[in-house]
Amino acid sequence: MRVKYTLFGVLVVFLVLAMNLGLQADIEDVRGKEVLDSQDLQVIDDFVARAIQDLVDTRDFTSIAKTRSVILAHKNSSKESAQAQYTGQFSESADRYISAALKQTSELKDKERRVKVILNLLILVDNLQDPRLADLALGMLNDENTVIRYWAVHCVTNPDMIRQLDLGEVADLELAVRIAEKLDGLLEQACSEITALAAGFAAEVRIQQGQDLLLKIADMRISQYADWTVDYEFLETVILKLLYDKISSAATGKSDMGRRFAQLYSYVMQRYIKDTNGGNFLSAARRHQSASVLVEIERACIGPLLGMPQLVIKRAVEQNDATALLLEHSRLFGDETRAGQLAQKLEFDYGTKPDGTKHTAPLALPEPPISKVGS
């Protein structure tokens, strides 16, 4: 009996392989045609259906990347004249079958397998780089699994997706706005990796909602510094560089970007100064992260903004010199008596006082909670 079952299993595998090889041969034939008819479109649909089902059914996750590569290798026609027909059908089929697969997989009781299959489906969507599939990823943004949420965000924020959304078509602009709004709703509970992806999308996509999202992310990090809940300080390198890029290239909103840039960088520096002056609340790893942010942003952003190389912060960090950092802070960001060089260069202020005059200094970082000291 065991021999019969073994032979039956071998036969099933052989038939599946034969069927898949047949589908690949058919799809290769269709890819080479100048014009497609209804039968050709059905071949595309059958190929996508079978390939997606293979992803769902697989138990050998070490070979699943090969299945994805086969799908990706056949997403376009090799003939320019048939490209619109081919990609239109491929996209429509991918949308239908991946949507069904995500629904099917979401109901699996085996949580580990559920996560693996959904991740592979999302990685496929990410690699297909098709705005028409964006809603598949948007539907997974609130999944309970952090890794699934990350890949769902990655699908709608990867550079090729942003490039296509920036083509100016009405549908693409509407999709860009929806993505920005969805990302906005994720921020409160987002991990640093997801926040970085959202910030990158916000900075690159050319809609007002993108600029608003980047400002909101900066405000969120500023608030976390103020209440001493910030973590993963390396994220500031990403956000500050994105703000710098917008300051350097944007036609409008430069003062808003400049204000956030200065306040966030000021908080990074103020916290580092407090720790250097005996605060003892930063671990060695987090102190290193903060120092790296200070030095890198001085090199990559402060120097170019002011028009000359800047090394004061780097030297002060290397020499553990809190006094030099404090003096540089006043020079760059200003104090109660005068505006700093950044505010003068970028023409922004830190808000209005009750008497109607402008604040010339960023907000002072509050003292850390007792629970933070010595931690």
Task: Single out the residue in 99, 116, 135 at which a domain terminates.
Answer: 135
Q: Is residue 144 part of a domain?
A: no
Residue 87 has pLDDT above 80, yes or no: yes
Q: Is residue 332 part of a domain?
A: yes
Buried b (16+ CB within 10 A) or exposed e, 11-24: eeeeeeeeebeebb
Residue 335 has pLDDT above 80, yes or no: yes
Closest CA to 55 of 43, 46, 68, 42: 68
Instruction: Quote the pLDDT of residue 278.
Output: 83
pLDDT in tens, 122-145: 999 999 999 999 999 999 999 999
Residue 6 has pLDDT above 50, yes or no: no
Instruction: Quote the pLDDT of residue 37.
Output: 96
Closest CA to 32 of 84, 82, 92, 70: 82
Q: Is residue 177 part of a domain?
A: no
- Distance of alpha carbon 123 from alpha carbon 17, whole angstroms: 24
Q: Which domain holds residue 120?
A: 1-135
One DSSP character per residue, 305-330 reads: HHTS---HHHHHHHTT-HHHHHHHHH
- Distance of alpha carbon 12 from alpha carbon 9, whole angstroms: 5
pLDDT in tens, 303-312: 999 999 999 9
Instruction: Quote the pLDDT of residue 364.
Output: 96
Q: Is residue 334 part of a domain?
A: yes
Q: Are residues 131 and 222 in the same domain?
A: no
pTM of the model: 0.89
Q: Are residues 117 and 221 in the same domain?
A: no
Q: Is residue 179 part of a domain?
A: no
Q: Quick check: 195 and 153 in contact, CB under 8 A? A: no
Q: What are phi and psi of 191, to 5 degrees?
A: -75, 170
- Distance of alpha carbon 264 from alpha carbon 258, whole angstroms: 10
Helices (H), ranges, 107-207: 111-128, 134-138, 146-157, 159-165, 170-186, 192-204
Q: Is residue 140 part of a domain?
A: no
Residue 8 has pLDDT above 50, yes or no: no
Q: Is residue 167 part of a domain?
A: no
Task: Single out the residue in 107, 135, 163 at which a domain terminates.
Answer: 135
Q: Is residue 281 part of a domain?
A: yes
**Total of domains in the chain:** 2
Beta-bridged to residue 352, according to DSSP, are 358
Residue 14 has pLDDT above 80, yes or no: no
Task: Single out the residue in 102, 135, 168 at which a domain terminates.
Answer: 135
Kindly state the average pLDDT of the residues 49-56.
93
